[in-house]
Structure 1
Amino acid sequence: MESAISDHLVCPRTLSRRVPDNYQPPFPMWVGRADETLQQVVMAYLGVQFRGDEHRTAALAAMRGIVSSFDMEDGPRHHDLTHHEDNEGYENLMVVGYWKDVASYTRWISTSVVADWWASDERLSEGLGYFRETVAPRAEQFETLYAFQEDLPGIGAVMDGISGDINEHGYWGSMRERFPLSQTDWMQPSGELRVISGDPAVGGRVMIQGHDNIALIRSGQDWKDAESEERSLYLDDILPTLQQGMDFLRDSGETVGCYSNRFVRNIDLEGNFLDLSYNIGHWASLDQLERWAESHPTHLRIFTTFFRVAEGLSKLRLYHEVSVSDARDQLYEYINCHPRTGMLRDAQTVALAADLP
């Protein structure tokens, strides 16, 4: 049995684990593997926001435009497309791209095709909203977990490999202990989420700066190849409880430290729904994410259901990835989005010097 932490990222541990050295997990799980050449990745959530069927065609065209820009030399190694409706009644299309290094992402976003389109005044008058939520965790700042071993989604798609059976799963606290950084660092947050330009209440262009160790979780479900029994397990047993938990975090997440939560359904280029979904959530800290996961009734029901059926899963694919990142490696940008979009809701406005006594 392997450690979830790759050999080249192992270091002398100064923080103890929650389980003894002879712990044996109750069923097999796997993590993505990458060699030492992977130093830092980029996860970019690129959104188009609209309200009303009259804007749907334009929104889909904008989404396809983003996807077409990925065909350039420095486009992402992997991407997927999603749709969700938020609790303000706006529909959101997201193109999620994963880069294996910061340099290629920087070259991509700096090309005239991408940079000029984003900066154009036309973005302000189309009747659509846009956002770019980007984080770039280092290799020691993220972890993965899969109940399957092939065709890894999300960040696993750029990691180029899969582990053998890993030890760190099946107990509370195992998520944290799959982070290489957890060997020596509690990953505590510092600083605040703040507006650095624009005004969310006014709209237009707004930029948000994150703080150290914001936690980002993507937790996914793939039932496209599931046969009737597993399909029923997901749609009838897991999904209703999952939806309750996701709705709570969407509507009341600020009470538990969740900045933003979206439960999204994968789509194709025409906007047709696929039998895949995932939750994407930004949290003020890894601690608060853990606390909710360990105590909220909806998540506890999901967790116990998974334990009950995990060994029998064949075609139902469940997974997650969690990261933290430094403030300098995060940027959240919005154009004409409503003020409760993403990180806009909880970002603090810095007082102008003229307003200070």
Structure 2
Amino acid sequence: MSTTLEEVVETKDRRYPLKRPPNHKVPVPRWTLKLPDAVTHIYTLYVGAQAHGADHSALASAEQIMEKLIRSDQGKPMAVDILRVTHGFDVVDSKVWVAYWTDAKAFQAKLDALGLRKAWNDLGEAKHSIGLWSESFTTPVERLETNYASLLHQPGISQAPGAEFPAHNLTAYWGAGRDRLPASKDDLFHPPDETRPPDPAPVGVGQYLTGTNYDNMCHIRSGQWWEQCPPDEREAYESDLQIKLMGGMQHLWDNPLETGTIGLRFLQNVNGADEKIRESCGAGFFRNWADLEYWSSTHPSHLAIFVGALAHARKFGPDKKFMTWHEVSILKEGEARFEYVNCEPSTGLIRWVKMEQQEL
């Protein structure tokens, strides 16, 4: 018999009680990801290519190299999404690939094959106008949290073979995301005492940088999909809720120290022909879960998103085609690896965590 999320988290041995109010009723249905019992971890890799200036041919060459490396049979991922940066901590229009595995050996094989520094050197003289980066991490399933507003589309981790999508009632109240984390029964995910950014930060360009995460750093990928929306619903999203969403993102980018935003990009999905599709996501790191929780539960910019999403769902009812979703990882110390080759200092986590530095 399949175990529900509620059965996983409603255990008698909880050290910390659920945040869910008594007799809570969900206003709109939500689903979560249930992985096969044999899957104990999810392995995630983000890879990006950026250009310094307008050398489009060099960037195209870099993208071809990275595409080939990601798609190669050595450590082939179970799923790959392709995106371009539109806002945030990176160079706008950089191409990004996000790949997923449930098999540790295949994940490690891909990391071994990736060889960013070699790939950069293979660009020859063009390499000086190109930056390459990767951000990878391992998530134990008890520290993975997901939520889907629809089952019309399978994004991100939900493409895992054998995945199920049970409905749940751990939604639509403050603290619901924490409740959906099985590990929250006996862990408050406290950050370490010292999480201040390095001073001075690396210059990035002309350097090879590597780093890792401190304890309980948080990663989120939060997506929007409106590819199948009819014209009226598409217009409703693009002229209202999407604007509210970007207002929330802008607040995070404008106030990184206050909000704990340490590596957040906004990304436009593209297809294999590099054509935009009606899908996007915010993806990146936060200092810790409490920072993300505080912003989402208290700040007007997120309350506008939350209320707007509920209003959209009520307006279009059971025929709604617009879908939101997210996946959150709370990482133990050392479960992530960050690697940047000749990248702008605004990229990813360069300014936010300690990096080992080598001159190129």
In structure 2, relative to structure 1, the CA distance for the partners of 1:194 and 1:102 (3 Å cut) is: farther
Contact 1:8–1:36, Cα closer than 8 Å, also in 2: no
Gaps of 5+ in 1: 352-357
Per-residue CA deviations over 1:188-238 (Å, capped at 9, x if unaligned) read 12264778xx94456420112210111111111111110012101210111
Contact 2:225–2:322, Cα closer than 8 Å, also in 1: yes
Which of 336, 339, 346 lines up with 1:333 in the alignment? 339
Counterpart of 2:177 in structure 1 is: 175
- d(CA) in 2 for partners of 1:265, 1:350: 31
Contact 1:109–1:115, Cα closer than 8 Å, also in 2: yes
- d(CA) in 2 for partners of 1:324, 1:255: 19
Query: Superposition pairs for residues 338-353 of structure 1, below 5 Å?
Result: 338-348=344-354
Query: Superposition pairs for residues 250-261 of structure 1, below 5 Å?
Result: 250-261=253-264
Bigger shift: 131-140 or 142-151?
142-151
- RMSD between aligned residues: 2.8
Per-residue CA deviations over 1:138-164 (Å, capped at 9, x if unaligned) read 010111111112442111111632333
- d(CA) in 2 for partners of 1:257, 1:202: 25
Structure 1 residue 62 corresponds to structure 2 residue 62: yes
SS of the residue aligned with 2:297?
helix
Counterpart of 2:155 in structure 1 is: 153
Bigger shift: 146-155 or 329-338?
146-155
Aligned positions, number: 346
Gaps of 5+ in 2: none
Paired amino acid for 1:294? S
In structure 2, relative to structure 1, the CA distance for the partners of 1:150 and 1:101 (3 Å cut) is: farther
In structure 2, relative to structure 1, the CA distance for the partners of 1:193 and 1:272 (3 Å cut) is: farther
Structure 1 residue 76 corresponds to structure 2 residue 77: yes
Counterpart of 1:164 in structure 2 is: 166
Counterpart of 1:289 in structure 2 is: 292
Report sequence identity in percent. 26
- d(CA) in 1 for partners of 2:100, 2:10: 21
Counterpart of 2:49 in structure 1 is: 48
Paired amino acid for 2:60? L
Paired amino acid for 1:339? P
Contact 1:42–1:99, Cα closer than 8 Å, also in 2: yes
TM-score, scaled relative to structure 2: 0.87
Contact 1:80–1:97, Cα closer than 8 Å, also in 2: yes
- d(CA) in 2 for partners of 1:139, 1:11: 20
Counterpart of 1:319 in structure 2 is: 325
Which of 268, 274, 283 lines up with 1:280 in the alignment? 283
Bigger shift: 180-189 or 79-88?
79-88
In structure 2, relative to structure 1, the CA distance for the partners of 1:326 and 1:15 (3 Å cut) is: same
Contact 1:123–1:335, Cα closer than 8 Å, also in 2: no
**Aligned-pair distance for 1:262?**
1.0
In structure 2, relative to structure 1, the CA distance for the partners of 1:122 and 1:320 (3 Å cut) is: same
Which of 256, 262, 279 lines up with 2:265 in the alignment? 262
In structure 2, relative to structure 1, the CA distance for the partners of 1:148 and 1:86 (3 Å cut) is: closer
Contact 1:151–1:157, Cα closer than 8 Å, also in 2: no
Counterpart of 2:28 in structure 1 is: 27
Per-residue CA deviations over 1:49-99 (Å, capped at 9, x if unaligned) read 1144432x4323433433333240521100111111456764311010011
**Aligned-pair distance for 1:289?**
0.4
Contact 1:5–1:179, Cα closer than 8 Å, also in 2: no
- d(CA) in 1 for partners of 2:330, 2:269: 24
Bigger shift: 337-346 or 310-319?
310-319
